[in-house]
Amino acid sequence: MSQSLGIPSVDLAHFTQGNPEQRAQFVKDLGAAFSQVGFVAVKNHGLSNDLTETLYREVKAFFDLPAESKLKYEVKELAGQRGYTSWGREHAKGMTEADLKEFWHFGQEVTDNDPIAKEYPDNIWCEELPEFNKVGMEAYNRLEEAGRQLLRAIALYLELDEKYFDDKIHNGNSILRPIHYGPILNEPKGAVRAGAHEDINLITLLMGASADGLQILNKAGEWVSVTALPDQVVVNVGDMLQRLTNNVLKSTTHRVINPPKELWHTSRYSIPFFLHPRSEMRLDCLESCITPNNPLHYEPCSAGEYLDQRLQEIGLKN
């Protein structure tokens, strides 16, 4: 069964500019939302309406390009890390039906001589749409900063040093992914726009999608439609944060369902920012999160090792 859910909402300005009481309340509210629901809506995240509208316009313009133009930017050996990924390349873990989507990846631009730059492929730039590249990277940087502030609040909720995550996400392997879920032309045979899955990374920040369809699986096993108000981004816990916290913060299963048949001719656009740490970050469960009532759930591993494993499971890497 499914129902609609107005997810908890927090104001990031209460944390970044608030007094000690507002900051403490923000930490408490964010932690409660992530431990109870797994998703939260965040306002005052640093993305202006103008930037958001411009990015969505440019994203639509890119996906409207002819197939032969888009395919110039698909580099198969990059395993979808940069540039364009065409229809049917990705599926949810454990699924065989490919998701009904095409997407683009903007990645980290290292500007401070950090040797980690050697780990990352160069960004691919769309020659036809220079503004697409420019606003894509501007949104990347704004969302990365919002994510840094949210992780500081998460660190405090976990009773860690506020800047616990700062060096671990500096020049991290984060991805901004504009997605086009195209019109459904034939009976989908069980395929959906995005199959039920959990995100790989620490946290995901999702700019409001252009159409409904996002659902989360609640603790009662019910699919719940997620709606966020304008001017908010939806943020959820990913598997890396779940591992680090030994399931204290749970990665929430979610999916994008197909629209009603009368809307099959329509497109849906979505732009998630997947906040990843550096590959050397350890995801070994925090000792403070291991208790008699919550014994150790995961073997030690690094973020890089875990990412490689998951990219193979979803079909992007051999």
Instruction: Give pLDDT tens digits for 148-173.
Output: 999 999 999 999 999 999 999 999 99
Contacts of 102 (CB under 8 A, 6+ apart): 63, 70, 84, 85, 86, 87, 179, 180, 182
> CA end-to-end span of the chain, whole Å?
36
Taking the C-alpha atoms of residue 79 and residue 247, their distance in angstroms, rounded to an integer, is 29
Q: What does the pLDDT read at residue 294?
A: 95
pLDDT at position 284 is: 97
CATH of domain 2-313: 2.60.120.330
Supply the pLDDT for residue 223.
86
Do residues 69 and 100 touch, judged by C-beta distance below 8 A? no
Domain boundaries, the chain: 2-313
Give me the pLDDT at residue 269, please: 86
Spatial distance between the Cα atoms of 198 and 237, rounded to a whole number of angstroms: 9
| pLDDT, block means (10 residues), the chain with 318 residues | 60 97 97 87 92 94 96 89 83 53 95 95 96 97 98 98 98 96 67 74 81 75 76 91 94 77 75 96 97 96 91 69
- 95-147 pLDDT tens trace: 445 567 899 999 999 999 999 999 999 999 999 999 999 999 999 999 999 99
DSSP letters spanning 107-138: E----S--GGGGGSPPPP--SS-HHHHHHHHH
